[in-house]
Amino acid sequence: MHVMTLSFARLRRFRFNLPQRVAAGMLALFLAQGLWLTAHQTLSDRDYQYARCGREMWEKPSPLAGYYTSCGNIHDGILAYRVAGLPLTLNVLAERGLDVFRKPEDRVVQVGGVQGLSTWELRHQLPYVLLLLRLPFLFAGCVLGGALWWVTRRLYGNLGGYTALALYCFSPAILKACITPGPEMLAAVGVYGGVYTCIGVAHAMQGPRKKWRPRIVLLTILFGVAAAAHIAALPVVALLGLLLMLWVAEGRRSQVLPIVLMAAAGALVLVFACYGFSPDAFSYLFRSAAGFLWFSIDPAKHLFLNLSGAGVTIAAAAAVVMYLGVGRSRYFGNTAPLLCFLMIVVLITTGIPSSPWLWALPFLLTFVGGVFADSYESPRRKLALAAGGAIVLLQVVFCLLSLPGLL
């Protein structure tokens, strides 16, 4: 009875009022754009690779002796292959089940007496392969948008949350990453969620220990998502989280490092599980150059000089000016995402192609939402709201113009 009471109490605390509905509407528009872009794509060699090797991880061992999959020993983000292959595997399993009720000539998976044809070979019989490949990454994009909304609304209020989420939902760079099988959106979820969960753990450390445990478990899972998406993301999120925890956890700083190390160790166990607990395949991850990082300003140039992101660029420039010029904007809630963005946006991976600047973008939007929220509460509230609305509208227009076949 006590457990049921607690469960109902949690349900009663959840509210789906106007702010939540507005955020859900924005995320629905984000999803609609992703589905529109998907409808205007065709299957590519990259899709073939993720479909084939992702399914191999779920359904059968590698046909090549000594290799984890026919793609080799995966070191460029095994989680992306796993999540890309899972809907296809489930789809084929469902089709096999339905084939029992079909005539032999109408069966999807049994063709000419040959069992177990690959999803790619069945692409004409299974018309939703392209969509199924992208759904997990679109879902990751929605999760990241939801996390951005939750953080910004909690820190800055409704208007700050609306501003950050609107810029996110109409970002062509984010949309492109969500309709391309790859590790970037998954790594972004792990890095952004991991950093802010670290801050949450640091705040919880000021209270009773029983409140630490669920946050530490969540932190381990998010570290695991970051590491399994891209192994270079683990040291990034762990270092940023450690620094911010040391900043926040006054009086408990001696316990910060053990918590971060424990979460990082748990993350590596989760990565090991993604490799099917295969020591050879897992060890290859550390024998490759996947985790090598260096510094460059080229990613920042790409982000800010891209015309389709003009609204984000203008918003970032305005936020920096207000942050430097208005003392009330320079506090931890605004400074933390700015520092995270500056530290990540200059990173490049030297071993494999990747885009860490995409991991940095949610932190930039968080910073923008925070500074704009401060301006909305200034004496020139109406002017600030008009300027913020105009910038968001500009970004919406550029994003919609980038959608193929819309105009």
Q: Residue 353: its pLDDT value, please?
A: 82
**CA end-to-end distance (rounded Å), the chain:** 58
What are the CA-CA distances from residue 243 to residues 14, 127, 235, 237, 330 (Å)?
Answer: 32, 48, 12, 10, 18
Report the predicted TM-score, pTM, of the whole model to 2 decimal places. Answer: 0.91
Q: Residue 407: its pLDDT value, please?
A: 62
DSSP state of 386: H
In the structure, what pLDDT confidence band is assigned to residue 217 with cuts at 50, 70 and 90? Answer: very high
In the structure, what pLDDT confidence band is assigned to residue 114 with cuts at 50, 70 and 90? Answer: very low
What's the mean pLDDT in 114-132?
62
Residue-wise pLDDT tens digits, 1-14: 444 444 444 544 66
> Is a pLDDT exceeding 90 seen at residue 271?
yes
> Is a pLDDT exceeding 70 seen at residue 235?
yes
* Cβ pair 148, 362 in contact under 8 A: yes
Q: Residue 74: its pLDDT value, please?
A: 82
CB atoms within 10 A of CB 38: 16
Q: Residue 92: its pLDDT value, please?
A: 82
Alpha helix stretches (DSSP H) within 249-355: 256-274, 279-287, 298-304, 310-325, 332-345
Among 56-70, 107-121, 219-233, 384-398, the minimum mean pLDDT is found in: 107-121
Kindly state the tokens that stand for 286: 């550390």
Kindly state the tokens that stand for 268: 């590596």
Q: Find tokens 């509208």 and name the residue.
A: 393
> Is a pLDDT exceeding 70 seen at residue 105?
no
Give the closest residue to 191 by CA, choosing from 149, 158, 152, 148: 148
Among 82-91, 193-202, 385-394, the minimum mean pLDDT is found in: 82-91
Give the closest residue to 255 by CA, choosing from 264, 266, 245: 245
In the structure, what pLDDT confidence band is assigned to residue 359 with cuts at 50, 70 and 90? Answer: very high
Kindly state the tokens that stand for 246: 């040391």
Q: Where are the domains of the chain?
A: 17-42+131-401, 45-130
Triad 317, 322, 326: Cα angle to 5°? 160
Kindly state the tokens that stand for 120: 């790619």
Measured in degrees and rounded to the nearest 5, phi and psi for residue 63 equal -75, -10
Report the C-alpha gap between 388 and 368 in whole angstroms.
Answer: 10
pLDDT: which is higher, 212 or 67? 212
What's the mean pLDDT in 246-265?
92
Q: Angle 233-248/184-204 helices, nearest 10 degrees?
A: 20
Alpha helix stretches (DSSP H) within 157-211: 158-169, 172-178, 184-204
Give the closest residue to 304 by CA, choosing from 314, 295, 296: 314
Kindly state the tokens that stand for 194: 């991991």
> Is a pLDDT exceeding 50 seen at residue 298?
yes
Kindly state the tokens that stand for 303: 């982000």
Helix (H/G/I), strand (E/B), else coil: 223: helix
Residue 243 CA, distance from chain mean position: 22
What's the mean pLDDT in 98-107?
73
pLDDT: which is higher, 121 or 132? 132
> Is a pLDDT exceeding 90 seen at residue 375?
yes
What's the mean pLDDT in 368-394?
95
What are the CA-CA distances from residue 37 to residues 30, 119, 179 (Å)?
Answer: 11, 22, 7
Residue-wise pLDDT tens digits, 33-50: 999 999 999 888 888 889
> Is a pLDDT exceeding 70 seen at residue 63?
no
Residue 129 is which amino acid? V
Q: Which of 77-81, 96-100, 114-118 has the highest mean pLDDT?
A: 77-81
Q: Residue 338: its pLDDT value, please?
A: 97
Q: Residue 43: its pLDDT value, please?
A: 86
